[in-house]
Chains A and B, each alone.
Chain A
C-alpha cells in the first residue's frame, strides 16, 4: 500500500468524524429526487509503480468507490497530482485544464460543472482538514502535547 493511500485512509476516517452528519438540504434533495444513484463520477488514482485505487463522493464526502458503481464520468490522475489536490497546491479545475486529471468514458463532450463542483468541494474540505490535522486541531495532538 502506498503512503498516499495510507494518508487517504486516515483522512477518510477523520473526515467521517469531522463531518459526521449529512447536511439537511442534501437529505431534502435526496428525498425529493429519490436518491438518484445514476449520477456519480469515479476518480482513479494511479501510483508511480503501478497499482491504483478508486474514489467516489458519497453524501458530499470522499469515499472508496463501490465496485458496482457505473459512473457517468471517470476521472483519472496520478498519486502526485492527487497529493497536490488534497494539499491545495492545485485546484480541481486547474488540474483538469492542465490535463493532470483526465476525463474518460464521458457520454457527452460537455464539461459537467456539477460533478466538477462536487470534487472541488471535497478537495477544499480535505485541504482544510489536513491543515487542521497538521495543526493538531482534529485528533487532539496539541492537547496531548500540552498534557
Chain B
C-alpha cells in the first residue's frame, strides 16, 4: 500500500478537495483508502457521509464502492486536546482501522506543520503539496517543504489550485498572477471550478508517476561552513 500525504501550509487552499478528488479518482481503478487527519475540523464526512463504527480493537471505516474512508467522528463541539493527543488520535486513525487491503491510501493532513504532520509525514511514501498561487499560500507551502526536508519525507510535487479561471468566452484568466517557485515539480494547475468536477480533471497518471518517483529534498548547505572550510583549506588562518 502506497501512502500519499496531501499537505498545505495554509488552510482553505483546497487541500481536502484535492485529497477527496484524488481518492475518488484512484478508487475508479484501485482499492483506495482515504484518511482525514484534520481531527477537529474534518470535512470528508460532509462530502461523503457515512458512519464510523468500532469493534474489538478496530475502527470500521465507512465505504463507498472501492473507496473506504475514515475520519474522527464527533459532534460539532470543540475538541480541547493537546498537540500530542491530536497526533495520537491521528496515528490511531491510520493504524487501528480495519482496512480492506487498499492499494493506495490518500492522507489528508491538517494545514500547517503541527505535531500531527511532524509525526506522520515521515510515514508517507510521498507527499503532494497543495497551494494557491498567492504570496501567503506559497510562503506557507515553503514551511511545509522545510518540514519535509527536515524529516526527509519524499515529495512528489505540488498541485496549484485556483490557478486560473476559464471564462465562458474561452479565455484563461490568471486571477492571482503570482509565480509559484517551490523548487519541486508542479504536477498540475487546476482551475477555479465546481469541486465536484475536480476528480475528472486530475491527471491521475502523472500524479501516480510522481508518487512512484518522489524526491527527497536536500538539506541546505551552510554558506558559513563552506567559507570557513575553504579558509582553512587555503591556510589563511
Contact = CB atoms under 8 A, between A and B. Distances in A.
B59 A113 contact: yes
Contacts of A25: 53, 55, 60
Chain A binding surface SS class: helix
B79 A93 contact: yes
Contact of A60 (B55, B93, B98): B55
Contact of A91 (B53, B60, B77, B80): B77
B52 A117 contact: yes
A29 B52 contact: no
B46 interface: no
Nearest to B98: A29
For chain A, give the interface size range: 20 to 34
A39 interface: yes
Given A110-B88, A113-B93, A91 B74 contact: yes
For chain B, give the interface size range: 20 to 34
A75 B34 CA distance: 31
Interface of A: 23, 25-26, 29-30, 33, 36, 39, 60, 91, 93-94, 97, 110-115, 117-118, 120-121
Interface of B: 52-60, 72-75, 77-81, 85, 88-89, 92-93, 96, 98
28 contacts: A23-B53, A25-B53, A25-B60, A29-B56, A30-B55, A33-B57, A36-B56, A39-B56, A39-B57, A60-B53, A91-B74, A93-B75, A93-B77, A93-B79, A97-B78, A97-B80, A110-B92, A111-B81, A111-B88, A112-B92, A113-B96, A114-B54, A114-B58, A117-B54, A117-B73, A118-B55, A120-B74, A121-B53
